[in-house]
Amino acid sequence: MPEVPEMQNVMVEREGHLALVYVNRPSKLNALDDLTIAELSAAMAALDDDDAVGAIIVTGAGEKAFVAGADIQVLAKQGVLDGKENARRGQALTLRMENCRKPVIAAINGFALGGGLELALACDVRFASDNAKVGLPEVSLGIIPGYGGTQRLPRLVGSGVALQMILQGDPIDAQEALRIGLVNGVFEQASLLDEVKKLASRMVSRGPQALALAKQAVRRGAHMSLQDGLDLEADLFGIISSTDEMKEGMAAFLEKRKPSWLRK
Ligand code: COA
């Protein structure tokens, strides 16, 4: 089993087949500095490689924030080259999350601003606490989103709504985020993590290879023409049809029992 490395700003807990990843810098509202980004990347890589992990929940330590953005102390010092490097590091993390073979779920337990919302946007699904505030306030700091926000937010909620959020810079509350489809559900803060664990456990009860290929079909297909996407889907359907997992899923249904997936 690949080890999650020792970390200072990120904490990983395991509960059965679920992994919980906490951004853990509560005194700075979990703002993303270089170390935190590097540790999150390392944690995601280790959990993706670990066959015992079925789904990953990303959340923030403490009561107040998921992640209040990229670290403004760091941003304040950047020039042209390190600004671009910084954006690339954050983007690499979001791509790693998006390309992870397991479902990655954001439990937005408070402020998700700037890089925090961009982290959540790279997750497969998002749930928020009722007191959450989410937004891309970069223009109010004289910068633009750099960890994928200008690309993923319009793809998720449409360019009109995304442009309003990006150009206005004001955060929206959890109910508004639900209304525009930015989050899939809203729960009381005290029960958010338990509710998200329940939903994640439903995903983990499904075929692991089917989950990985279904995610791949949606993620890769999003950048393709309809015909190319359908070709990809047919190819992946062919691959899943050759697996023991498919045989087990079908047999379990016909024998009226729960499937027993090959997950170490
Ligand atoms: N980067 C660095 N530090 C941050 C931070 C960020 N993005 N967000 C919060 N912090 C720090 C604060 O500087 C403060 O540190 P200090 O106690 O050493 O002064 C600590 O976290 C607590 O934040 P504070 O502002 O006192 O909390 P608040 O409840 O009054 O306000 C926010 C909460 C989220 C509204 C406010 O912190 C904020 O606007 N943060 C920046 C959000 C942002 O613009 N993010 C996008 C960055 S690109």
Measured between alpha carbons, how far is 150 from 118 in angstroms, rounded to an integer?
A: 9
Q: 51 C-alpha vs ligand 1 centroid, how far in Å? A: 37
Q: Is 67 in the pocket of ligand 1 (CB under 6 A)?
A: no
Q: What is the percent of the chain where pLDDT is above 90? A: 93
**Do 250 and 141 belong to one domain?**
no
**Do 196 and 215 belong to one domain?**
no
CATH of the domain at 247: 1.10.12.10
**Do 72 and 179 belong to one domain?**
yes
Better-scored residue on pLDDT, 2 or 137: 137
CATH of the domain at 106: 3.90.226.10
| Domain contains 262 | no
Q: What number of other Cβ atoms are within 10 A of residue 5's Cβ? A: 13
**Do 158 and 236 belong to one domain?**
no
> Which atom of ligand 1 lies closest to the CA of 141?
44
**Do 233 and 158 belong to one domain?**
no
What tokens were used for 40? 């999150």
pTM of the model: 0.96
Q: Is 69 in the pocket of ligand 1 (CB under 6 A)?
A: yes
Query: Atom 18 (ligand 1): residue with closest C-alpha?
Result: 28
Q: Return the pLDDT at 5.
A: 74
Q: Which helix (H) or strand (E) holds 35?
A: helix 34-49
**Do 76 and 195 belong to one domain?**
yes
| Domain contains 263 | no
**Do 199 and 91 belong to one domain?**
yes
Q: Is 118 in the pocket of ligand 1 (CB under 6 A)?
A: no
Q: Return the pLDDT at 262.
A: 79
Angle (deg, nearest 10), helices 244-254 and 208-221: 120
| Domain contains 87 | yes
| Domain contains 1 | no
Determine the structural domain holding residue 129 and report its residue range.
10-204
Q: Are the beta carbons of 54 and 204 closer than 8 angstroms?
A: yes
Query: Atom 36 (ligand 1): residue with closest C-alpha?
Result: 68
Q: Is 15 an annotated catalytic residue?
A: no
Q: Is 68 in the pocket of ligand 1 (CB under 6 A)?
A: yes
Q: Is residue 83 scored above 70 in pLDDT?
A: yes
Task: Work out the mean pLDDT of the chain and round it to a whole number.
Answer: 95
**Do 110 and 20 belong to one domain?**
yes
Q: 29 C-alpha vs ligand 1 centroid, how far in Å? A: 6
| Domain contains 4 | no
Q: Return the pLDDT at 51.
A: 92
Measured between alpha carbons, how far is 167 from 130 in angstroms, rounded to an integer?
A: 25
Measured between alpha carbons, how far is 9 from 40 in angstroms, rounded to an integer?
A: 9
> Which atom of ligand 1 lies closest to the CA of 133?
34
Q: Is 124 in the pocket of ligand 1 (CB under 6 A)?
A: no
Report the range of poorest mean pLDDT among 39-43, 61-65, 74-78, 209-213: 74-78
**Do 127 and 150 belong to one domain?**
yes
Q: Is 118 an annotated catalytic residue?
A: yes
Q: Would you say the C-alpha torsion 161, 165, 168, 171 has a positive or negative sign?
A: positive
**Do 40 and 101 belong to one domain?**
yes
Q: Is residue 206 scored above 90 in pLDDT?
A: yes
Q: What number of other Cβ atoms are within 10 A of residue 113's Cβ? A: 24
Structural domain count, the chain? 2
| Domain contains 5 | no
Q: Return the pLDDT at 84.
A: 93
| Domain contains 104 | yes
What tokens were used for 69? 């953005």
Query: Atom 45 (ligand 1): residue with closest C-alpha?
Result: 69
**Do 48 and 138 belong to one domain?**
yes
Amino acid at the residue 188: E
Report the range of poorest mean pLDDT among 3-17, 175-189, 242-256: 3-17
| Domain contains 78 | yes
